[in-house]
Amino acid sequence: MLAALLYGQEDLRLEQVADPSPDVGEVIIKVKVATTCGTDLKVWRRGGHAKMLKPPTLFGHEAAGEIVALGAGVTGWQVGDRIVANNSAPCMKCFFCQRQEYSLCPHLTWNNGTFAEYLKIPAPIVQQNMLCVPDELPLELAAMTEPLACVLHGVARSHVKPQDRIVVLGDGAIGLMFVAALTETAEVLLWGGNDHRLEIGQKLGAAKTFNYHRIPDIPGVVKELTEGWGADIVIEATGVPSVWETAIACARPGATVNLFGGCPRDTTITVNTEQLHYSELTLKGVFHNTPKYVRAALALIASRKIPFELLISEQRSLQDLEQVFYDMKTRKVIKVGMIP
């Protein structure tokens, strides 16, 4: 089959590899659509990921498709079923899993390789995090289940209250998903650097949008809009250390700052200890998702209450994958549905 392999920093190659075959408990799907992701872009640019993969490796982690083969012992599924599978599953046995802190499981089963004609789903993911896609739901929307599950996990960890004023920093797919998930209960102020993406943020419910290229004093404007105090909750969705510091500067006393965007390995930030202590700030790192939010994400997408199709800039052939990543790097596209 044709598949994308990541060899290192911005070194992505399409190669012919052996078709996968299922072992005990495993499933093989024919990938119908694989969506690109900001995490994929970061991994491509950085040449690896601290948790999910180490090159050389099959690449991509968001996809939906149809089952074409079942391993021994797989029950409840049939060839032809339309499915979406998360890119991980917790072990359900360790210290963290026993406390239902599944995203912290040190034995998470990771799965990469969605940018390919076929994808093998490991047994733990089949058991914990493989879901049936409703017949009426387009597979390119179902493929976005994983990132939305991460966002819903992040929303839950932010402890949002009605009428909170929330600042979202970042107009990538994750930042825009946060806007969509938060606007029913809170007022969201979205900051980004791309006018087209900010327009999408407005369509998804952002109360106000700001382009930081034209209005660089983010904390100052946030305080002007919040009686001088700052935001109740700040969501950082860029993975840039300086923006982590900006997020903290936007927070009111007593606020929660969700440092959601993963920064490069071994980077650090500076925190004003006086502000942290006397303003009683909560700084929170939030990582990945859990089975609960995988299910909640697919249900939200399937409800069609939110036009998540706004995040799909276009569909492209798998042969165009490298160019798509360059287009993502220059912010010409948000998410692209890759068709093997």
Q: What residue ranges do the domains of the chain occupy?
A: 2-143+307-339, 150-285
Widest Cα–Cα separation across the chain: 63
Q: What's the CA gap between 52 and 169, in Å, rounded?
A: 24
Task: Record the pTM.
Answer: 0.96
| Chain centre distance of CA 238 | 11
pLDDT of amino acid 197: 98
- Under CATH, which number does the domain 2-143+307-339 receive? 3.90.180.10
Coil, helix or strand for 259? Answer: strand
Looking at residue 50, what is its pLDDT? 63
In terms of Cα–Cα distance, which of 34, 53, 31, 32 is closest to 42?
A: 53
Instruction: Find out whether 303 and 15 touch, Cβ atoms under 8 Å.
Output: no
Which runs of consecutive H residues, i.e. helices, occur in 79-167?
95-98, 123-128, 139-142, 145-158
- Give the pLDDT score at 55: 83
Q: Answer yes or no: same fold for 2-143+307-339 and 150-285.
A: no
Position 284, amino acid:
K
Cis amide leading into 264 (omega within 30):
no
Query: Which structure tokens are listed for 265?
Result: 């390995």
Q: Which residues of the chain have pLDDT under 70?
A: 50
Statement: 150-285 belongs to CATH 3.40.50.720:
yes
Burial 275-302 (b: 16+ CB within 10 A, else e): eeeeeebebeebebbbbebbbbbbebbb
Q: Which amino acid is at 89?
A: A
Neighbouring residues of 275: CB distance < 8 A, sequence distance ≥ 6: 248, 281
Backbone angles phi, psi at 24, to 5 degrees: -55, 130
pLDDT at 93: 97
What does the block give as tokens for 303? 């409800």
